[in-house]
């Protein structure tokens, strides 16, 4: 009897303990990256640093091989058209020229003698033709030898500035080997490199602004004259040339300049947001908008265009609104988040 009473008391105590309500778990707010809508799609703040280069740059070299006995210019020297830049050892070319001249004089005298003999009927016409042909070959060989002798002197074909030198006196070079680089006087350009992510939309002929760091800081009007279709294998960027108007002598080669391309025109309702902020619901595109109490709600938006740097929103957002920029597929409507600010979109 006592044992049954004890078990009844224990069972009643267990039921009382189970009837007590457990405390609700503390709900933690999910952290989320957010940004403030404020960057217009028409704005473009990408500046490219570049170097002032000549529009026409020529790599100079000798047309025959030999030993360099003299180099008269250094990098940075200004030269005039026809000025001697370097010389090869002329000994071998001189010997060839002398031999060719001797062969020419011999062939000429033979031709003169045979002409006289032919006029008197002592030799046939075919014999004279052989001597005439020999004279023509000797004439051509003598002219070639004279040219080879002249090729031992390297001259500037245009006025300009020596941009680079690659050889020294005493060095043996082969025909066509680069010796000097001449930047011709005239137009000046800015050589820049465009990253792969910013290549889309760049077209030859589009307008650009050029600012000289050593100048007055006033932007000059330029245009994209050349854009390589192949990336540089080392930097993985695309070389480009931007031409601009500048007075002769106002800038020096090698100076630093900044280039910014003109952005396409958009209305003030076009905003640029990160791709990671877009929440796709079937055929509907939306973003999570953060309210004052940090709760989130979906709002449908209209995408005008997709770019490398983000998506252009044509409607649905207002400047100053805060949106979730990452982790959008983990949220639910009405959920409160802990803000992690990453600035203004994009």
Q: What are the tens digits of pLDDT across the range 288-327?
A: 899 988 898 998 888 877 776 778 887 788 877 888 888 8
CA distance 317 to 287: 9
In 3D space, the residue among 97, 12, 41, 113 whose CA is nearest the CA of residue 319 turns out to be 41
| Both structure tokens of 156 | 């500037």
Report the pLDDT value the prediction gives residue 192, as an integer from 0 to 100: 94
The CA R_g of the chain, rounded to the nearest whole Å, is 41
Task: Name every residue whose Cβ is closer than 8 Å to that of residue 344 and which is 6 or more positions away in sequence.
Answer: 35, 36, 37, 38, 39
Q: Delineate the domains of the chain, giving CATH numbers in brackets.
A: 30-42+267-344 (2.40.420.20), 48-55+186-261 (2.40.30.170), 57-88+158-182 (2.40.50.100), 91-150 (1.10.287.470)
Q: Are strands 30-36 and 337-344 parallel, antiparallel or unpaired?
A: parallel
CA distance 311 to 301: 11
CA distance 100 to 345: 78
Q: Tell me the pLDDT tens digit for each residue of 135-159.
A: 999 999 999 988 888 999 999 999 9
CB 285 within 8 A of CB 273: no
Confidence of residue 346 (pLDDT cuts 50, 70, 90): very low
Average pLDDT for residues 223-243, to the nearest whole number?
A: 93
Report the pLDDT value the prediction gives residue 9, as an integer from 0 to 100: 57
Max CA distance (Å), the chain: 169
- What end-to-end distance do the CA atoms of the chain give, in Å? 80
Per-residue pLDDT for 93 more than 80?
yes
CA distance 225 to 346: 30
Complete DSSP assignment for 189-243: EEEEEEEGGG-TT--TT-EEEEEETTTT---EEEEEEEE-SS--TTT-EEEEEEE
Report the pLDDT value the prediction gives residue 8, as an integer from 0 to 100: 53
Q: Tell me the pLDDT tens digit for each residue of 251-284.
A: 888 889 999 887 655 444 567 788 888 888 778 8
CB 194 within 8 A of CB 260: no
Report the pLDDT value the prediction gives residue 345, as an integer from 0 to 100: 47
Q: What is the pTM of this model?
A: 0.56
Confidence of residue 92 (pLDDT cuts 50, 70, 90): confident
| Both structure tokens of 116 | 């006289």
Average pLDDT of every residue of the chain? 83
């Amino acid at each position: 009897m006592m044992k049954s009473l004890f078990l009844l008391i224990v069972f009643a105590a267990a039921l009382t303990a189970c009837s007590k309500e457990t405390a609700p778990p503390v709900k933690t707010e999910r952290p989320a990256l957010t940004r403030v809508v404020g960057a217009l799609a028409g704005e473009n703040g990408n500046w490219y640093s570049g170097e002032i280069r000549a529009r026409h740059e020529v790599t100079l070299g000798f047309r025959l091989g030999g030993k360099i006995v003299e180099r008269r210019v250094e990098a940075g020297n200004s030269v005039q058209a026809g000025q001697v830049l370097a010389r090869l050892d002329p000994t071998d070319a001189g010997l060839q020229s002398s031999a060719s001249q001797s062969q020419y004089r011999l062939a000429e005298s033979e031709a003169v003698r045979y002409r006289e003999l032919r006029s008197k009927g002592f030799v046939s016409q075919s014999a004279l033709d052989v001597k005439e042909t020999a004279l023509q070959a000797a004439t051509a060989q003598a002219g070639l030898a004279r040219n080879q002798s002249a090729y031992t002197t390297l001259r500037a074909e245009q006025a300009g500035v020596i941009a680079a030198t690659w050889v020294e006196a005493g060095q043996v070079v082969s025909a066509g080997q680069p010796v000097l680089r001449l930047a011709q006087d005239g137009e000046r350009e800015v050589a820049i490199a465009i990253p792969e992510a910013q290549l889309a939309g760049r077209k030859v002929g589009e307008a650009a602004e050029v600012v000289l760091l050593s100048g007055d800081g006033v932007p000059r009007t330029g245009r994209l004259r050349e854009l390589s279709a192949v990336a540089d294998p080392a930097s993985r960027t695309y070389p480009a040339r931007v031409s601009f108007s500048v007075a002769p002598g106002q800038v020096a080669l090698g100076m630093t300049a900044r280039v910014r391309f003109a952005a396409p025109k958009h209305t003030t309702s076009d905003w640029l947001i990160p791709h990671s902020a877009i929440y796709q619901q079937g055929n509907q595109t939306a973003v999570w908008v953060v309210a004052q109490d940090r709760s989130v709600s979906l709002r449908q938006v209209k995408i005008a265009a997709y770019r490398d740097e983000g998506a252009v929103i044509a409607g649905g957002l207002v400047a100053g609104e805060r949106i979730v920029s990452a982790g959008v597929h983990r949220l639910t409507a009405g959920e409160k988040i802990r803000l992690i600010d990453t600035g203004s979109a994009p």
